[in-house]
Amino acid sequence: MWVQIRTAPNLIVAEMWKEFFEGEGIPTRLLVDPDSPTSGVSATYRVLIPEEKDHVVEEILRKA
Residue ranges per domain, the chain?
2-63
Rounded Cα distance, 43 and 19, in Å: 18
Indicate whether 38 pLDDT > 90.
Answer: no
**Residue 43: per-residue pLDDT:** 94
Rounded Cα distance, 58 and 26, in Å: 12
The 3-state DSSP class for residue 60 equals helix
pTM of the predicted model, to two decimals? 0.89
Element (H, E) at 6: strand 2-8
Indicate whether 53 pLDDT > 90.
Answer: yes
Indicate whether 23 pLDDT > 90.
Answer: yes
